[in-house]
Amino acid sequence: MSALAELEARALGEIRGATDLAELKRVEQAFLGKKGELTQQLKQLSSLPKEERPAFGKAVNDCKVSLTKALEARERELKAEELSARLSSEGFDPTEPGSPVPYGTLHPITQITEELVDVFQGLGFSWLDGPEVEFEYYNFDALGIPGDHPARESHDTFWLRDGNVLRTHTSPVQIRAMERFGAPLSVIVPGRCFRNETVDASHEHTFYQMEGLMVGRDISVPHLIYTMKTCLREILRRDIEVRLRPGYFPFVEPGFELDVNCPFCEGEGCKVCKQSGWIEMLPCGMVHPDVLRSGGLDPEEWTGFAFGLGLQRLVMVRYGINDIRDFTGGDLRFLKQFNRI
Ligand code: PHE
């Protein structure tokens, strides 16, 4: 056995025999360090006859490669051993399933908004946004509610110092949509609205509505009824009946209150529906000719319907919730019940 082969065999033996990283480091120094045995071998190169040098040089290099590989392999093994020794001494079992991390849930208003958007997109409506800080013009005047109009009083408005308002409903986006897109047009506008109201079980100063607007040629009340029935059937997850009662809003003519048959007693009469068998679901109507004009459309050519769906109310009817304050109360026990993830 050549001296080199003997050296390699010895070195490999010591590498495999090293029982910790410190020892492995010492072995590495002893053979490959500046004064290591293999490095010394290389120094003999110049004293060899010329023709032997290439072969010897190559042999030393091969030996170096083999030792380096062995060192790396042993280092990996020792590190893994050290890690598992540490983990088991700390009582950590990496195979044990983790404990669940608490995660949030989507707010029921967000969930119902997503569902509604889905249903209406299926009916060809586009989803629009509008500003929460609105001009008085869009919130009131353009909708036929001028300053002295009694309908203003039902909108207890948060006025800003600059004369703008926190929008009291999503209807201003009707005008914005017509101005921007013209007709024909089918849009929904889910969004947050504000009214300066005394908060109680059925009133909130901050609430969510979804406006719907369809404008086209020959759009009439049956289109409205069909659309509302389709939507409510999906959302309330049952076959429903609707009825229209007259309702007054300056921006629709005729205006209606749309009722559905009571989900709690199926129309028999109960406390929730005050024995009538019906509950009020949403205001709606045919877009007033003046509103079409405000939006830049000719009422001789275009007609449309609009509705304003109260989203809290819809969620309350769906789940039988009786206090609107629960939505903004931040009580996790309430919110967790709508866990859909
Ligand atoms: N914007 C009205 C409100 O909030 C609701 C409504 C919308 C009525 C569309 C008719 C048509 O009171």
Of 64-78, 88-102, 241-255, 293-307, give the lowest mean pLDDT range: 88-102
The dihedral of CA 146, 152, 153, 159: what is its sign?
Answer: negative
Atom of ligand 1 minimally distant from the CA of 209:
4
What's the token pair of residue 312?
């809290």
DSSP H or E run through 43:
helix 37-43
Ligand 1 centroid – CA 261 distance (Å): 21
* Binding site membership of 312 for ligand 1 (Cβ less than 6 Å): no
User: Does residue 127 have a pLDDT over 70?
Assistant: yes
The CA distance from 54 to 51, in Å, is: 7
Mutating to test ligand 1, I would choose from 138, 139, 178, 249 the residue with most ligand atoms within 8 A of its C-beta, which is 249
pLDDT of residue 104: 83
Place of tokens 């949509």: 177
* Binding site membership of 167 for ligand 1 (Cβ less than 6 Å): no
Average pLDDT score, the chain? 91
Q: How far is CA 114 from CA 107, 108, 110, 168, 188, in A?
A: 11, 10, 6, 22, 12
Could you tell me if 148 and 114 are in contact, meaning their C-beta atoms sit under 8 angstroms apart? no
Nearest CA to ligand 1 atom 9: 307
Nearest CA to ligand 1 atom 4: 169
**Start-to-end Cα distance in the chain:** 70
| Per-residue pLDDT reduced to its tens digit, 238-290 | 888 999 999 999 999 999 999 999 877 877 888 878 899 998 999 999 999 99
* Binding site membership of 307 for ligand 1 (Cβ less than 6 Å): yes
Q: Which of 103, 162, 107 is nearest to 136 (CA)?
A: 162
The CA distance from 270 to 268, in Å, is: 7
Atom of ligand 1 minimally distant from the CA of 213:
9
- Omega within 30 of 0 (cis) for the link into 184: yes
- Specify the long-range contacts of residues 38-47, CB closer than 8 Å, at least 24 apart: 38/7, 38/11, 38/63, 38/64, 38/67, 41/3, 41/4, 41/7
Amino acid at site 155: H
pTM above 0.75, yes or no: no
* Binding site membership of 308 for ligand 1 (Cβ less than 6 Å): yes
* Binding site membership of 249 for ligand 1 (Cβ less than 6 Å): yes
Nearest CA to ligand 1 atom 5: 308
Could you tell me if 75 and 21 are in contact, meaning their C-beta atoms sit under 8 angstroms apart? yes
Nearest CA to ligand 1 atom 2: 308
Q: What is the pairing mode between strands 252-261 and 278-287?
A: antiparallel
DSSP H or E run through 278:
strand 278-287
| Per-residue pLDDT reduced to its tens digit, 174-197 | 999 999 999 999 999 999 999 998
